[in-house]
Amino acid sequence: MKILVAVKRVVDYNVKVRVKTDGTGVETANVKMSMNPFDEIALEEALRMKEAGIATEIVAISCGAATCQETLRTALAFGADRAILVESDTELQPLAVAKLLAAIVKKESPGMVILGKQAIDDDCNQTGQMLAALLGWPQGAFASKLARDGDKLAVTREVDGGLETVSLSLPAVVTADLRLNEPRYVTLPNIMKAKKKPLETIKPDALGVDATPRLKTLKVQEPPTRKAGIKVPDAKTLVDKLRNEAKVIS
């Protein structure tokens, strides 16, 4: 079975995000960029399925500017067999990405697509669900465990109050949650090998997809700074403040 893995280039999770002074977005110039952490987990799961003999080929896909090639080279260094960049200089929103991925799925006919549960830059948590809907495929979102069960895939999902296991017929779309696995480290020899692996570039037009944004960002602003806390002398004062100042208890 061939597995497609969607990997997004995002501001590194260790970077303190700064809002642009004109409020149009967050600063990305001279900022460290990395693979979205949930996509590393998705890729790791695909690699483990290949090592277990369940998957035969892993194709990493990223949609965005030419700089996403760097993210794809990282995916190849982790162990993906080849990569596809859907290159676009316009902002790609989840519906556009889902349509682009759906077009690639039609070309590649994979048995499964794994995505991260959400991208840490837009926090949308939409692309996997939209992709499954566009393809008409079953979906297992927020997966914390995957197991091949004959011609089906058992997906354990993290839901409110516990775990739910669903049985999906393949082909299917899965999105990876934090506890699915712990991604491996990339080794230097694998970084070198990745340079020779195939990386194809396609434009959205060639896939027949209109990737124009549907949503307009009106304003981006920093969250209000938290006020310093105070110490209260006893429980009675605390209850009094919660009731009469914060008005959170009656």
Residues that bind ligand AMP (CB under 6 A): 6-8, 36, 38-39, 61-64, 92, 94, 97, 115-116, 118-119, 122, 124-128
Report the residue number, 115 or 153, with the smaller CB distance to ligand AMP. 115
- For the CB of residue 125, give the shortest distance to ligand AMP in the complex, in Å: 5
- For the CB of residue 224, give the shortest distance to ligand AMP in the complex, in Å: 25
User: Which tokens belong to 212?
Assistant: 């124009």
Report the residue number, 156 or 175, with the smaller CB distance to ligand AMP. 175
Full DSSP string of 212-223: --S-------PP
- For the CB of residue 39, give the shortest distance to ligand AMP in the complex, in Å: 4
Report the residue number, 36 or 156, with the smaller CB distance to ligand AMP. 36
The number of beta carbons lying within 10 Å of the beta carbon of residue 70 is: 13
Contact 5, 80 (CB under 8 A): yes
* Helix/strand/coil percentages in the chain, nearest 5: 30, 25, 45
Report the residue number, 183 or 242, with the smaller CB distance to ligand AMP. 183
- For the CB of residue 62, give the shortest distance to ligand AMP in the complex, in Å: 5
- For the CB of residue 25, give the shortest distance to ligand AMP in the complex, in Å: 15
- For the CB of residue 8, give the shortest distance to ligand AMP in the complex, in Å: 4
Report the residue number, 182 or 234, with the smaller CB distance to ligand AMP. 182
Residue number of the CB atom closest to ligand AMP: 116
Q: In the Cβ-directed half-sphere of 244, how many Cα atoms lie within 13 Å?
A: 6
What three-state secondary structure class fits 50? helix
Angle at 176 between CA 171 and CA 179, to 5 degrees: 135
By CB atoms closer than 10 A (0-12, 13-18, 19+), residue 230 is exposed
What distance in Å separates the CA atoms of residue 168 and residue 147, rounded to the nearest whole number? 10
Angle at 99 between CA 37 and CA 183, to 5 degrees: 15
- For the CB of residue 118, give the shortest distance to ligand AMP in the complex, in Å: 4
Report the residue number, 28 or 125, with the smaller CB distance to ligand AMP. 125
Report the residue number, 203 or 243, with the smaller CB distance to ligand AMP. 203
What distance in Å separates the CA atoms of residue 129 and residue 174, rounded to the nearest whole number? 9
